[in-house]
Amino acid sequence: MSWSKLKQQLESFLSPALVGRVEYRATGYRYLPDKAGLCYISVDKKDVLRMNDKASPIRWYQTELEIKNDPDIQIPISAEEMEAVRKDTQGNVPEDRLKVIARNRKITGYAKELMSAQASLSKSNFVALANQFLSTSIEENIESKDILLNILALVDRRVGKKRILNMSEKMKLKHPVVQYFYDLRRSTC
């Protein structure tokens, strides 16, 4: 499918409140057929989803340590996770320390997922993922580990206000760019 048709289809699924604000853009190289163009998403004429752009309002992490040390990341810890740590340590650790251990375990897993998602996004083909988005259900796209599929689903008109509002806990564990689009969509509900 050509870029113009794909762009038209993607924009036809945009939430009415985001029409004109969210744009899908692509650069092409006419004389370099072996060089793929860059595709990116802009909001209010500012590039948001473009990893190599230093002026981007989204934080792109370079290392797992950056993620672990980021004070903006809020990781909720459940009672089951606390109990798993208690079981692993055989109850020899004070309660306050259990929460720290559980949080560290969870943030390590979260950091690995974020780094993996960023790496796959930088290597992905926007057109292939957009076609995948168009051919799968909204639920699958929202639950996907792929950042781009999450974003396309969040700005989709088929995701209603009630579902957006019920996603707040899930979104805390997503990449900052997914959180950005979630906040954008939530502000338009």
pLDDT one-digit tens code per residue, 100-155: 888 888 888 888 877 777 766 654 577 788 889 999 999 999 998 888 899 999 99
Confidence band for 184, pLDDT divided at 50, 70 and 90: very high
CB neighbourhood size of 188 (10 A): 14
Considering the chain, what is the average pLDDT of its residues?
81
Tokens 């190289």 — which residue?
29
pLDDT single digits (tens) 58-69: 666 777 778 778
Q: What is the DSSP string of 30-88?
A: TT-TTSPPPEEEEETTEEEE-TT-TT-SS---SSHHHHHH-TT------HHHHHHHHHH
| Alpha-carbon separation of residue 25 from 18, 61, 64, 74, 188 (angstroms) | 15, 23, 30, 32, 22
Q: Percent of the chain beyond pLDDT 70?
A: 83
Domain definitions of the chain by residue range: 3-62+126-160+177-188
Pairing of strands 46-49, 39-43: antiparallel
Confidence band for 28, pLDDT divided at 50, 70 and 90: low
3-state helix, strand and coil shares in percent for the chain, rounded to the nearest 5: 55, 10, 35
pLDDT at 56 over 80: no
Confidence band for 21, pLDDT divided at 50, 70 and 90: very high
Average pLDDT rounded to a whole number, residues 77-102:
85
Give which of 153, 149, 147 is closest to 173, Cα–Cα: 147
